[in-house]
Amino acid sequence: MLRIALPVAALAGALLFVSAGASSAERAVPIPAPAADVAPTKGPQVAVLAGGCFWGMEAVFQSVKGVQSVTSGYAGGARGTATYDQVSTERTGHAEAVRIVYDPHKVSYGTLLRVYFSVAHDPTQLNRQTPDVGPSYRSAIFPQNADQRRVATAYIAQLTRAKAYPKPIVTKLETGAFYPAEAYHQDFFWRNPTHPYIVRWDKPKVTAFRNAFPQLAN
């Protein structure tokens, strides 16, 4: 998204920078399911993923059966600088990220990673996603436990061996707390369906998800 700190009403007119020459609508990358997965446990589980603007990431994962909630926010930096104004400077170490609460008996961590790598973002873009440039838009996974770290590491290796992408995967596994973003960023996709950025960059992701994974779509 365009890096300015404005309320939603102002943002609606601020993102008309989207160019007519941008690339075609995103499509799902056909990738295999992970060979290893996290065994389901009792109670809701949490996944934290970063892959560009959190508006689209949030919308994709809100569309997955078994996901109970998705929160947009910042991960990888300190609490004191986890604000949009400060993250926008690209000097805080945060990544725009989403915190996904899910039922592991309805959707697995490995399945969430498959959606993440296939349609939610492009894991071959370094410190950027489509029109957004900077380390806050990096591709990063924040494992919440050892099992998630093991599965994420193995899946990246699996996709690399399979040559699933024409360029190397740049996704990194990182540590750090998650801090929710400001209220006006939450559910932005659903509250602003005609926003130029949403129409150009995020609606195609949700459509790609529903087309590629109809059995997972709610």
Where do the domains of the chain lie, and which CATH numbers do they carry?
40-212 (3.30.1060.10)
Instruction: Give the number of other Cβ atoms within 10 Å of residue 111's Cβ.
Output: 20
pLDDT at 17: 30
By the 8 A CB rule, do 116 and 142 touch?
no
10-residue averages of pLDDT along the chain (218 residues): 40 31 61 96 96 98 98 97 97 98 98 98 96 97 98 98 96 98 97 96 96 95
Q: Is 53 a catalytic residue?
A: yes
Give this prediction's pTM: 0.89
- Of the residues 47, 50, 53, 115, only one is catalytic, namely 53
pLDDT at 24: 40
pLDDT at 155: 98
Q: Tokens 């560009």 map to which residue? A: 52
